[in-house]
Amino acid sequence: MEIFLQGLTMGLAYLAPIGAQNLFIINTALTAPLGIALVTAGIVAFFDISLALACFWGIGLVIEHSLLLQKALLGGGGLILIYLAWQLLHAQVQTDTSAYSQPTLWQTATLAFTVTWFNPQAVIDGTLMLGAFRSSLPADTASLFISGVAAASCLWFFGLTGIFKTCCQNLCPSHMQWINRICGAVIFVYALKLLYTFGQML
């Protein structure tokens, strides 16, 4: 259960910073009927989980047989997570969604796939974060961890839809700023964990 919760918190911290996926979800929640907004959340979650699985199992299986790659990924991943956390702690939040228009269902699937799989930063960060954790976990707990990450994706995107459907009038930029700061702090803690594991391997 502890490993599942670790994956859940890591997944939430990784998803929460405001980006293309979240703006897409926010815009749909603010402009579309509830049913369409929920379908959109499900589609985005599906593609996000598929990317997480590819990053976790793909890179994880490769580096599992290479001690050098494990060290490089743990050390490099830890440093990049520290940089990502620093960016989140100092980021200026943009909450303007006026430039987004309501897409059709086909456009929703296409856009969700594009902002997830064709976002180089998301692929790189996902590979470094999830691949690094794959290398630091015992083989029999890996499935629990990635299950937590998948649950975080569903919880975040459906939760985001519900929040903006019901409470969007109370949202202000300072609230989103604090979300970024909290997520930055969580990611910083996980970065230290990766670097600690890296130090033990030296």
What are the tens digits of pLDDT across the range 26-76?
Answer: 777 877 788 888 999 999 999 999 988 888 887 656 666 677 877 777 787
User: Which carries the bigger pLDDT value, residue 42 or residue 116?
Assistant: 42
Please give the pLDDT value at position 147.
Answer: 92
Can you give the pTM of this predicted structure?
A: 0.68
Could you tell me if 58 and 113 are in contact, meaning their C-beta atoms sit under 8 angstroms apart?
no
Please give the pLDDT value at position 49.
Answer: 92
For the segment 131-154, the average pLDDT, to the nearest whole number, is 83
Could you tell me if 111 and 117 are in contact, meaning their C-beta atoms sit under 8 angstroms apart?
no
What are the tens digits of pLDDT across the range 151-187?
Answer: 999 999 999 999 888 876 565 656 666 766 776 787 7
Please give the pLDDT value at position 186.
Answer: 74
Please give the pLDDT value at position 19.
Answer: 63
The whole-angstrom distance between residue 193's C-alpha and the CA centroid of its chain comes to: 18
Measure the CA–CA gap between 91 and 53, rounded to whole angstroms.
28
| Residues in CB range of 142: below 8 A, 6 or more apart | 56, 60, 134
| Residues in CB range of 54: below 8 A, 6 or more apart | none
User: Which carries the bigger pLDDT value, residue 22 or residue 5?
Assistant: 5
